[in-house]
Chains A and B, each alone.
Chain A
């Protein structure tokens, strides 16, 4: 019975996989035609005439792949994102949980938090460039802010939405505060932690790219993918701009897949939905 079920889900999985592949291929063909149509006839289809065709982008991609600097850009951006994101998780999860479970803590820290939250992370860039001693630290700080507020708000909301009957059931079975926290509140908040992490990760990528463009980065790929794009723009290479953009797309996809996988492992009861 279980084999037929897994065979069925396999076929289903393959169907969705090939549907995805077809969609991407169709998109590339559309892009190629639109781009070539402009070259041959001068007709600008949906404004994509100016964009280099996928074949040119692919060639540019092949050119940068062996280059050390390109991969250093990946490493630089990824390490910034991970630093900011992990610090945001490490501070944001306990902070959100404290806001949720302790009335006094919430009374003191929630109002200033709510005033700081609407400030876009990029508005912090000038101040943090002045405040932090190095460029690297200010980028890390701004990336941290990007993820922090989202994570805290999700953790707080998730923890406060836990069904009270779980808490009551545990209490009537003799749960201490310790048990209530570790056995009910924390696992009950996990789904929201992962929602916050997924959204926060996306914001972190947005912020790190913009921060890299603004701060100008270093040399030899130390500037990250944001600087790679900016540099390509300054150098007038349209193909490389697109290469940089697609690289970010792939990087963001890899990050959010990692979060999804981790959620899948840590929350077995959610796989059944």
Chain B
């Protein structure tokens, strides 16, 4: 597949996306670090469409620049060429319409769980007082942290921290959620519980979700669309439409169809991983 060709991931039979979710478009995004004579090309001409209200998972070999891609979509970094737009409008730096859930927890250590959740709206002066507190409390109860509102992040377990972070993102009513390997570092049990919980949230609000991971099973379990990246300099290798019914459950991962997706994804990723392995040697 030519790397410069535009990759369509959209559903052909588009289900009506809710009005509060948005189409995200990456158009020819490239990024290199360092001076020209020794520059390290990380992203090379990446074009992806993330359809509104769908869950698109980006999977790629480790060290391929997934986090750079996240930083560019979030607006923390600017691409050398190309652009990122939301509903056709190019982005201008970070904004609350695109919330990021970070790899390691980014809950602010000196704020309690409740303060973390109310931080954004309070700072922007949009909501305040009792109604904001009530909204935050309801959200925290929903993510199962009702008992932990006044605890500091360090007092929460890894899984609780990720749920608190989901609540902190959701209260800002983003159109797009960008998840950068959010369940990395959790033990297998918490991880699968978090995946199920996350899908439940997604089914409820149907925001445009961009989910980055390096786990193939996780990717197939969650995705509407699976974007497979190559090694550095990173290109889009293939986009696979994951046609498994929703709501999902773990039994679907053992279906013949899921195995077929997994085989295809693994073949593509394995070749790329081998390349970086050889380079490393």
Contact = CB atoms under 8 A, between A and B. Distances in A.
Interface of A: 163, 165-166, 168-176, 179, 183-184, 187-188, 190, 267-269, 272-273
Given A173-B123, A269-B154, A272-B155, A165 B106 contact: yes
Nearest to B174: A172
A166 B74 contact: no
B106 A169 contact: yes
A168 B154 contact: no
B94 A171 contact: yes
Interface centre among B102, B106, B110, by most A CB within 10 Å? B110
Interface of B: 74-76, 93-96, 98-100, 102-104, 106, 108-110, 119-120, 123-124, 152-155, 168, 172
B120 A184 contact: no
A169 B102 contact: yes
Contacts of A273: 154
Contacts of B172: 173
9 contacts: A165-B103, A169-B102, A172-B95, A173-B99, A174-B95, A174-B120, A174-B123, A183-B119, A268-B152
Contact of B108 (A170, A176, A267, A272): A170
Interface centre among A172, A174, A175, A268, by most B CB within 10 Å? A172
Given A170-B119, A175-B123, A190-B110, 14 more contacts: A165-B104, A165-B106, A169-B106, A170-B108, A170-B123, A171-B93, A172-B96, A172-B98, A172-B100, A173-B172, A174-B95, A174-B123, A179-B123, A269-B109
A266 to B, nearest CB: 10
A169 B154 contact: no
Contacts of A268: 152
A269 B106 contact: no
A269 B152 contact: yes
Given A184-B108, A269-B109, A269-B110, A173 B120 contact: yes
Nearest to A168: B76
Contacts of B75: 172
A173 B125 CA distance: 12
Nearest to A180: B123
B120 to A, nearest CB: 3
A172 B94 contact: yes
Contacts of A175: 123
Contacts of A176: 123
Contacts of A163: 106
Nearest to A178: B123
A168 B100 contact: yes
Contacts of A190: 110
Contacts of B120: 173-174
Contacts of A173: 96, 99, 119-120, 123-124, 172
Nearest to B105: A165
A165 B94 CA distance: 13
B76 A171 contact: yes
B71 to A, nearest CB: 8
Contact of A267 (B93, B110, B155, B168): B110
Nearest to B74: A172
Nearest to A268: B152
Nearest to A190: B110
Contacts of A269: 109-110, 152-154
A165 B119 contact: no
A166 B168 CA distance: 13
A93 to B, nearest CB: 17
B240 to A, nearest CB: 29
A166 B76 contact: no
A272 B113 CA distance: 14
Contact of B106 (A168, A267, A272): A168
Contacts of A174: 95-96, 120, 123-124
A11 to B, nearest CB: 23
Contacts of A169: 100, 102, 106, 108, 168
A113 B53 CA distance: 55
Q: When A and B form their complex, which 4 residue pairs have the shortest distance between CB atoms, in order from nearest?
A: A173-B120, A165-B106, A172-B94, A169-B106
Contacts of A179: 123
B93 to A, nearest CB: 8
A201 to B, nearest CB: 23
Nearest to A273: B154
A188 B100 CA distance: 21
A187 B95 CA distance: 23
A166 B108 contact: yes
B102 A165 contact: yes
A53 B138 CA distance: 68
Contacts of B110: 187-188, 190, 267, 269
Given A166-B106, A269-B109, A172 B99 contact: yes
A179 B120 CA distance: 10
A75 to B, nearest CB: 37
A165 B109 CA distance: 12
Contacts of A172: 74-76, 94-96, 98-100
